[in-house]
Amino acid sequence: MNYKAILAFSLTSLAATTALAQSDRPAELSALGPVPVPADNPMTPEKVELGKKLFFDPILSGNNAMPCSACHLPEAGWAVQDKISFGYPGTTHWRNSQTVINSAYYGKLFWAGASGSLEHQARSAARGGVAGNGEDDMMEARLAFVPEYREAFKTVFGDDWPSVRHAYMAIAAYQRTLVQTDTPFDNYMNGDDAALSAEAKRGLDLFTGKAGCVTCHSGPLLSDEKYYNLGVPPYDGWEEDPLAQITFRFELFAKGSTEEMYRTTKDDPGLYFRTKQKSDKGKFRTPSLRYTKYTFPYMHNGMLETLRDVVDFYDAGGGENEFAANKTSLIQPLGLSDDEKDDLVAFLESLSGEEMLIETPEIPEMQPLPAAVQN
């Protein structure tokens, strides 16, 4: 969805929300409303266009080869269709890549909620040791060697010299255009009874009833943004891939672990890295279920391959991991029949619309600084 479409949608969203409140749709769920935009980073077409180029430009990375799009590929659900995301060359990542579609609605980014805004998330990804691995001053200097960027930063932000902080703001502005509000589910919630198939409607009843999915996957984003340990099994690559094991130990060390924990832990501690509370080990933020048709595999470590696998996992009452003492009591065996599982999958697929593919923008090239700029 482009910038103008977002503005148009915002004008109609309040009316749709009012209609929803008066309808007989499940109170726990709703269609997406207007995109939240922070007061200190207002949207403009010029800023969005700059952010789009920067999203696909590897200039904001340590080796000038790892753009945001390296781990958020449009043709792969704006994520990575593999268990673990790609890492900075010479490394591998250690968690599943989440889609950036509708990420503008999150109050907390990353699997453990480590960033509170898209602006901060962009900075963390660009600088992360197994992600962009960039240094702000180096990336800022590179931007200055691109005449088009010098002009754009001047126009959009008033910068005499491109600011990497403003680069992150532009990327965040672009990400706020990557939303999908015309899914079959949204259309149904906005009053189009024919938007959902009979199977999906039965799945919706299961979602809000017997299966209890709405307990955590609630609201317009279908996420309560809280943290749970579901018993997701550990990433199997840590047993087979030496490089993945190195990354895992690096993350344990970098994020703060006791020596005993560093030596013995075989699973991702999740929220613990932020709180250092043992009761938070193995907990991760509830992800949105939107656009999940294209973002397989699932969970923080990609250990569930398909949406049917996810439904089977919940139907069985979750799984087992190293932090079993922290497993939430909310997840219990459901006793779903095969037909009910099929209906639930049909509803989950209705949370995704058409695949959002775009034409990659042309990336401007660096050139020698003119004498006037050098002086």
Q: At what angle do helices 147-157 and 45-56 cross, to 10 degrees?
A: 140
What confidence score (pLDDT) does residue 374 get?
Answer: 60
What confidence score (pLDDT) does residue 118 get?
Answer: 98
Task: Please report whether residue 105 resides in a domain.
Answer: yes
Average pLDDT over residues 218-238: 96
Q: Are residues 172 and 302 in the same domain?
A: no
Contact 369, 144 (CB under 8 A): yes
Which are the contacts of 25, defined by CB distance < 8 A and separation ≥ 6?
A: 188, 189
Contact 67, 131 (CB under 8 A): no
Q: Are residues 39 and 92 in the same domain?
A: yes
Residue 26 vs residue 256, higher pLDDT: 256
Q: Are residues 148 and 173 in the same domain?
A: yes
Q: How far apart are the first and last CA of the chain?
A: 42
Task: Please report whether residue 90 resides in a domain.
Answer: yes
Largest CA distance in the chain: 73
* Each residue's pLDDT tens digit, 319-358: 999 999 999 999 999 999 999 999 999 999 999 999 999 9
The residues facing 73 across adjacent strands are 79
Say how many domains are in the chain. Answer: 2
Q: Are residues 169 and 96 in the same domain?
A: yes
Whether the predicted pLDDT of 197 surpasses 60: yes
Q: Are residues 116 and 200 in the same domain?
A: no
Cα angle value 198/201/202 (rounded, 5°): 90
Average pLDDT over residues 229-249: 94
The residues facing 111 across adjacent strands are none
Task: Please report whether residue 130 resides in a domain.
Answer: yes
Q: Are residues 293 and 345 in the same domain?
A: yes
Task: Please report whether residue 38 resides in a domain.
Answer: yes
Task: Please report whether residue 340 resides in a domain.
Answer: yes
Helix, strand, or coil here: 227?
A: strand
Q: Are residues 230 and 125 in the same domain?
A: no
Average pLDDT over residues 188-195: 97
CATH number at residue 221: 1.10.760.10
Task: Please report whether residue 160 resides in a domain.
Answer: yes
Domain enclosing residue 29, as ranges? 3-180+356-374
Q: Are residues 231 and 132 in the same domain?
A: no
Q: Which is nearest to 9 in space by CA: 192, 179, 174?
A: 179
Weakest mean pLDDT among 166-180, 299-313, 361-375 = 361-375
Average pLDDT over residues 246-259: 90
Q: Are residues 70 and 39 in the same domain?
A: yes
What confidence score (pLDDT) does residue 372 get?
Answer: 64
Structure tokens at 97: 């890549």
Q: What is the DSSP letter of 298?
A: B
Whether the predicted pLDDT of 5 surpasses 90: no
Average pLDDT over residues 216-226: 96
Task: Please report whether residue 142 resides in a domain.
Answer: yes
Weakest mean pLDDT among 1-5, 65-69, 196-200 = 1-5
User: What predicted TM-score, i.e. pTM, was given to this entire model?
Assistant: 0.90
| pLDDT interval class at 257 (50, 70, 90) | confident
Structure tokens at 318: 């979750």
Q: Are residues 29 and 138 in the same domain?
A: yes
Residue 262 vs residue 340, higher pLDDT: 340
Task: Please report whether residue 270 resides in a domain.
Answer: no
Contact 199, 342 (CB under 8 A): yes
Q: Are residues 111 and 151 in the same domain?
A: yes
- Dist CA 371 CA 375 (whole Å): 6
What confidence score (pLDDT) does residue 131 get?
Answer: 93
| pLDDT interval class at 28 (50, 70, 90) | confident
* Each residue's pLDDT tens digit, 83-118: 999 999 989 999 999 999 999 999 999 999 999 999
Cα angle value 149/151/153 (rounded, 5°): 65
Distances (CA, A) of 28 to 18, 20, 114, 341, 353: 15, 11, 26, 21, 21
The residues facing 285 across adjacent strands are 227
Average pLDDT over residues 241-247: 93
Distances (CA, A) of 369 to 142, 160, 358, 365, 374: 11, 13, 32, 12, 6
* Each residue's pLDDT tens digit, 49-62: 999 999 999 999 99
Cis before 297? omega within 30? yes
Q: Are residues 210 and 169 in the same domain?
A: no
Strands (DSSP E) along 175-331, which ranges? 227-228, 284-285
- Dist CA 126 CA 141 (whole Å): 15
